[in-house]
Amino acid sequence: MLKIAIYGKGGIGKSTTISNMAAAMTEMGLKVMQIGCDPKADSTAALHPGVKLTTVLDLVRRKKDDFTIEDMVCPGFGGVVCVEAGGPTPGMGCAGRGIITALEKLAAKGVYDKYQPDVVIYDVLGDVVCGGFSMPMRDGYADQVFIVTSGENMAIYAAANIAMAVQNFKDRGYAQLGGIILNRRNVRHEEEKVAELCSDIQSRVIGTLSRSETVQDAEELGKTVLEAFPDSEMAAEYRTLARQVLAACGKEPAC
């Protein structure tokens, strides 16, 4: 089982990237589980349009431990197994601690054993990398960390902080930094800025995505690009990115 954590600044297009990549991996014959670790609980929304997924933390609040594995998951497009960790009640509790609780509950309930995914992808907010937000990096969770960024200054700043966290944890047997995913915003000197970031953090760009209206069109439909526009150029880019991520992890796709 390959376990990947993907981080990035809020609003950078991380969840859209992950959902499309997960859908592309299922086309390759892989069984994929996507776990949203953002308090907004919208990581997997495009994979199950029109279906509201109950978060793990909502279940814990309402039912303590009296709920089943099936209560925590939702089947998504292409067979992606969708899970949302959720967040605390607004104004109460710690979002980071909520992620810890949710991931521990998933393991305790035997979700991974039941679904036996080939690939688990954790979608993690990267504006802050402390407490529970670093949980997916820890031993027993992700094997590799990838960072989604553009050439925008705040996105690069967040990416550098995430890379620093991975570096600080390297002696504990935590996940390693697999590389950078450039989600282009077409800002000035974008590729040069991201290349400089990679040099600073001793990493590399493993894949790039174009800025495209096709992505916005699919989002308006509440779907992934692979479902809404499977023959589009952007769908092809997401398929390529999925292969690049797998290759960076040393895993060859089935076809």
Active site residues: 9, 14, 40, 127
Smallest CA-to-CA distance from 205 within 216, 189, 194 is with 194
Q: Count of CB atoms within 10 A of residue 49's CB?
A: 14
Q: Are 180 and 203 in contact (CB under 8 A)?
A: yes
Q: Count of CB atoms within 10 A of residue 255's CB?
A: 6
Distance CA 65, CA 77 (A): 28
What token pair was written down for 11? 């609003």
Place of tokens 């992606």: 80
**Burial of 241 from C-beta contacts in 10 A (0-12 / 13-18 / 19+):** buried
Q: Count of CB atoms within 10 A of residue 184's CB?
A: 16
> Does residue 189 sit in helix, strand or coil?
coil
Strands 119-125, 205-209: parallel, antiparallel or unpaired by DSSP? Answer: unpaired
Distance CA 61, CA 15 (A): 25
> Does residue 72 sit in helix, strand or coil?
helix
What token pair was written down for 164? 């620093």
> Could you tell me how far CA 100 lies from the centroid of its own chain?
16
What token pair was written down for 162? 């995430």
